[in-house]
Amino acid sequence: MQKFLKILQIKFLHIYNKYRENIFFNSLLKIFSYSYFFIYKFWLLLYKLNVLKKYTLKANVISIGNITAGGTGKTPLTIEIANHLIHKGYKVAVLSRGYKRKINNNEILNQVLVSDGQDILVDHETSGDEPYLIAKKSPKAIVIVGNDRVKAGLSAIRLGAEILILDDGYQHLKLNRNENILLIDSYKPFDNGQLIPAGLLREPPSAINRSTAIVLSNAEKPELKNLCLEKISSFTNGKPIISMHYKIKQFKALNIKKTMLSNEFKETAIAFCGIGNPKSFFNLLECSNIKIIDQIEFPDHHPYNYDDIKAVIQKAQKNNVENIITTEKDALKIEELCQASPVTFWSSELEVKLDDSSPIEKLFVNKPLDGKKNAAYS
Closest to 127 in 3D by CA, of 150, 163, 100: 100
Question: What is the overall mean pLDDT for the chain?
Answer: 88
Judge whether residue 121 has pLDDT over 80. Answer: yes
Same fold, 60-244+354-377 and 246-352: yes
Residue 291 contacts residue 268 (beta carbons within 8 Å): yes
Judge whether residue 23 has pLDDT over 70. Answer: no
DSSP bridge pairs for 67: none
Q: What is the pLDDT of residues 71-105, one digit of tens each?
A: 778 999 999 999 999 999 999 999 998 877 777 65
Q: What is the pLDDT of residue 130?
A: 92
Task: Please determine, looking at this structure, whether the domain spanning 246-352 carries the CATH number 3.40.630.40.
Answer: no
The larger pLDDT score, comparing residue 56 to residue 375, is at: 56
Judge whether residue 340 has pLDDT over 90. Answer: yes
Judge whether residue 10 has pLDDT over 60. Answer: yes
Q: Exposure of 204 by Cβ count < 10 A (0-12 exposed, 13-18 middle, 19+ buried)?
A: middle
Q: What is the pLDDT of residue 118?
A: 97
Which residue ranges make up each domain of the chain? 60-244+354-377, 246-352
Q: What span, in angstroms and rounded, lies between the C-alpha atoms of 315 and 309?
A: 10
Residue 94 contacts residue 139 (beta carbons within 8 Å): no
Task: Find the range with the poorest average confidence among 225-229, 324-328, 361-365.
Answer: 361-365
Q: What span, in angstroms and rounded, lies between the C-alpha atoms of 123 and 135?
A: 11
Contacts 24+ apart (CB under 8 A), 257-266: 258/344, 262/288, 262/290, 265/290, 265/346
Q: What span, in angstroms and rounded, lies between the C-alpha atoms of 303 and 190?
A: 28
Judge whether residue 352 has pLDDT over 60. Answer: yes
Q: What span, in angstroms and rounded, lies between the C-alpha atoms of 299 and 276?
A: 8
Q: What is the pLDDT of residue 171?
A: 93
Q: What is the pLDDT of residue 3?
A: 60
Q: What is the mean pLDDT of residues 223-235?
A: 92
Q: What is the pLDDT of residues 254-288, one digit of tens each?
A: 999 999 999 999 999 999 999 988 888 999 999 89
Q: What span, in angstroms and rounded, lies between the C-alpha atoms of 171 and 177?
A: 12
Q: Identify the CATH assignment for 60-244+354-377 out of 1.10.3280, 3.10.620, 3.60.90, 3.40.50.
A: 3.40.50
- Model confidence, pTM: 0.88
Q: What is the pLDDT of residues 168-194, one digit of tens each?
A: 999 999 999 999 999 999 988 998 899
Residue 377 banded pLDDT, cuts 50, 70, 90: very low
Closest to 333 in 3D by CA, of 312, 313, 347, 350: 347
Q: What percent of the chain has pLDDT over 90?
A: 68
Q: What is the mean pLDDT of residues 120-146?
A: 95
